[in-house]
Amino acid sequence: MYLALVLSSLVALLISLHFSTPALADSVPLLKIKTDNSTLKHELPKFYHCISSQVWHSKDKQKDPYFKTEPTLNEVLKCYDKVLAKQTDSNDVKSGGKNN
């Protein structure tokens, strides 16, 4: 009984420590895109470049140090609309508005 109490207390402590400490991670390089899909091949690099540019331009405006090197949700959505949604709309027009 005593061992179970100690183990459950230890597990609770580890869980609380896990959720109370900030996550520290290194950035990882993007994988090279190997696909026959022209949207992925040509538009994803533009999307990632747009995000990098957005982060760089806003780094001095961010109060949270995390967002000096990582994109905010708004930056990602802005780049999605600018690069990928535009591409989807143009493909939709070419196909006559049909979803394939």
How do the pLDDT tens digits run along the chain, 100 residues long? 555 555 666 566 556 555 544 555 666 676 777 888 887 788 888 988 999 999 998 888 888 888 888 899 999 999 999 998 876 655 555 555 554 4
Helix (H, G, I), strand (E, B) or coil at 3: helix
pLDDT at position 87, please?
66
CA distances from 87 to 7, 16, 35, 49, 83 (A): 55, 45, 17, 16, 6
pTM above 0.75, yes or no: no
Domain boundaries defined on the chain: 32-100
What pLDDT was estimated at residue 99? 46
Q: How far is 50 from 56, CA to CA, in rounded Å?
A: 10
pLDDT recorded at residue 45: 87
Residues ≥6 apart with Cβ < 8 Å to 16: none
